[in-house]
Structure 1
Amino acid sequence: MLKWFRRKRKEGPPEEPPAEREKAPVSREEAPERSPEAEKGLWQKFRRGLAKTRDRLKDTLGDLFEVDRLVDQAFMEELEEILVTADIGIETVDRLLEPSRRKLLLGEPLKTGELKRSLREEMLNMLSLESPPFPPEENPAVIFFIGVNGVGKTTTLAKVAWHLKNRGFSVLAVAADTFRAAAIEQLESWGERVGFEVIKQAPGADPGAVVYQGLEAARARKTDVVLVDTAGRLHTKYNLMEELKKMVRVAGKVIPGAPHENILVLDATTGQNAVSQAKLFGEAVRLHSMIITKMDGTAKGGIAVTVAHLFKLPIRFVGLGEKMEDLAPFEPKAFVDALLP
């Protein structure tokens, strides 16, 4: 099985708000400091959300690491195959196991307990990518949500808006998915529930024009953060990718430097297909970070490790359920602790 995988690989601080707004300055720190209780709650949330992936690994890794014994080449090959079944790509698996392989090549004794600690440490290093504060420090901070059809961009945008509003930021959303009338209606419905305004035009309107109108409105109203909902597009469709580039150019003309963050939204259930999505969207526009949705519905949670490793994209949030609070701010250690049994 592992040989088949290898063959396939070869083929192929913000400004002080005006007095009339009557609100206190808000912090642009990556996330508010969490209490020990909150940290424990986040760990439990990750553990529940990653249950399917963890159970798949537990059934195999549990037996493999049950007894602390010396590691040999056969053990390493079996471990590689198990990690691949959790949708950790071959290249990423190679990197995770490189320190342990080096010890074996040098003839140094290596026990399973030490190997497991090394695996956790390497995985944590891959996921602990340095990233700027969220939201970005500009006023307004312009954030695009990008991805293929069906990954949950609109719902994810609304949940991010909920997080930002809870931290005291004013939020405005731009309905730049003009291909589907339902998308505009969905965003408006979320706006009513969460409490943010939506800038829209009629279905079929030029998305670039909607972005222009939305950013002008945000600047006039001194909004803190603008969240732009883009149409789902297949990463292989040239015309749609060109339209995305145009929207990015329009944003930069209205507000120099915008968009300040392009978030790639990935569906964890798609597994390794997320790699090709990240590659092709990254070739079209600059990607700054990612959000991985539907992590609770798949045994392919290892894809988060793979995409972070291959594209050096920090993970902002992970979707672990349907509720607002189930879009959890990503915490590498809690993730690794919940993933590896």
Structure 2
Amino acid sequence: MGLFDRFKKQPGGEASSPLDEPASRETSASTAESTPQPAGATSLFARFKAGLRRTNQLLNTDIRDLFKAEGRLVDDDFLGELFAILIRTDMGTGPAGEIRDRVARDYRARVVQMGEVLDTIRHAMRELLAQSEEPIRFAPEGPTVVLVVGVNGSGKTTSIAKLTHLFRSQGKSVVLGAGDTFRAAAVDQLKVWAQREGAEIVTGAAQSDPASVAHRAVARALELNADVCVIDTAGRLQTQVNLMKELEKIHRVIGKQIPDAPHETLMVLDATAGQNGISQARGFSEAARCTGIVLAKLDGTAKGGVVIPIRQQFSLPVKYVGVGEKSSDLALFNVDEFVDALFQGA
């Protein structure tokens, strides 16, 4: 039985099959992204390189300007200039200071070439970013439930669309739960993506209980024996207490349906928000029992260094990064690929 045979429209219209969406919905896809491209059309390194182009240009241009043909003496002036360059990538004073101090330890009072300093910076960055690099942990049997959290405007809905595209490109059947019931635009956008990617979607009435949507989405995934159930959540609540209560309720109702669910809770962060995005997302990290981070919009910033403080402050692995506008532009995060892309051409 094929995917589209399994996803039949159910009475009541709460669960929507991609084939049941009206054709007019295609016109609203302009609010989403361009036509999805085949997964694997470009290599991981090529995606990182393209997505990090602005950060790469900043680092390579500014660091190159530190050196003359005959090299540069590593003194206080040099170290101060290097520190300022690193800060401009938004990695924060702590990591920038650690890298500066590593360069000072290795080369102070020596005349060095740019390549020597870059080798030290690369090594220091790899140590700061060290993490286990795992994709989604799939359940051994039955649907894998992925809960997605994050503040409004972080790229949460688009990241869910990209995750859906990734799963569908792997041949997995997907059910979406449109749990951000306080934003009609988020629900409508997910409906578009469900149709385009061949996924089922479960929605609820405006301002309805997100936990109810999550419950029905998991129930639908169980009914269809779907491979993955991805659940969106509200991106704004009035207080931290309300946020924690809502997320705890979602965890509770999901866990009653499938033991150990949700199997992943991914927090979406906006790379362009830099340090401000970190502070905004801290409440979600504390309330949601997150297992990993999706860093969105990495292609839209010259501050790709923000990955370092994110990794340090949340003590969570960065699982995926958004490196473009197409639905296929979601890359599994790899420390070596990331650091190499930052300094490609230097």
Q: Contact conserved, 1:235 with 1:281, CA < 8 A, in 2?
A: no
Cα RMSD, aligned residues only: 2.5
Q: Which residue of 2 aligns with 1:217?
A: 220
Distance change in 2, residues 1:211/1:75 (3 Å): same
Aligned AA (1:223): A
1:270 to 265, 268, 273: 273
Q: Which residue of 2 aligns with 1:80?
A: 83
Q: Under a length normalisation based on structure 1, what TM-score does the superposition of the two structures give?
A: 0.81
Are positions 1:170 and 2:136 aligned together? no
Residue segments in structure 1 that go unaligned for 5+ positions in a row: 1-19, 23-37
Question: Over residues 61-86 of structure 1, what are the superposed CA-to-partner deviations in whole Å (9 max), with x where a residue is unaligned?
Answer: 11124554442232222211110111
Q: Which residue of 1 aligns with 2:65?
A: 63
Query: Separation in 2 of the partners of 1:122 and 1:95?
Result: 8
Aligned AA (1:171): V
Q: Contact conserved, 1:274 with 1:307, CA < 8 A, in 2?
A: no
Q: Which residue of 2 aligns with 1:54?
A: 56
SS at match of 1:302: helix
Note the 1:191-340 alignment, pairs <5 A.
191-233=194-236, 237-340=240-343
SS at match of 2:43: helix
2:144 to 126, 141, 146: 141
Q: Which residue of 2 aligns with 1:13?
A: none
Query: Separation in 2 of the partners of 1:264 and 1:70?
Result: 43
Query: Separation in 1 of the partners of 2:239 and 2:86?
Result: 29
Are positions 1:116 and 2:95 aligned together? no
Distance change in 2, residues 1:235/1:100 (3 Å): farther
Aligned AA (2:261): A
Distance change in 2, residues 1:91/1:41 (3 Å): same
Shift in Å, 1:236: 6.0
Q: Contact conserved, 1:200 with 1:210, CA < 8 A, in 2?
A: yes
Q: Which residue of 2 aligns with 1:30?
A: none
Q: Which residue of 2 aligns with 1:42?
A: 44
Aligned AA (2:99): L
Residue segments in structure 2 that go unaligned for 5+ positions in a row: 4-39
Q: Contact conserved, 1:100 with 1:110, CA < 8 A, in 2?
A: no
Aligned AA (1:78): E
Query: Separation in 1 of the partners of 2:92 and 2:239?
Result: 21
Question: Over residues 260-283 of structure 1, what are the superposed CA-to-partner deviations in whole Å (9 max), with x where a residue is unaligned?
Answer: 111111111111112213432222
Q: Under a length normalisation based on structure 2, what TM-score does the superposition of the two structures give?
A: 0.80
Query: Separation in 1 of the partners of 2:297 and 2:77?
Result: 34
1:159 to 159, 162, 165: 162
SS at match of 2:294: strand
User: Percentage identity across aligned positions?
Assistant: 41
Aligned AA (1:295): L
Aligned AA (2:132): E
Question: Over residues 158-195 of structure 1, what are the superposed CA-to-partner deviations in whole Å (9 max), with x where a residue is unaligned?
Answer: 11111111112221111111112222221111000001
Looking at both structures, which has the greater relative contact order when contacts are Cα pairs under 8 Å and sequence separation is at least 6? Answer: 2
1:99 to 97, 102, 110: 102
Shift in Å, 1:333: 2.2
Distance change in 2, residues 1:39/1:152 (3 Å): closer
What count of residue pairs does the alignment treat as equivalent? 305
Q: Contact conserved, 2:49 with 2:341, CA < 8 A, in 1?
A: yes
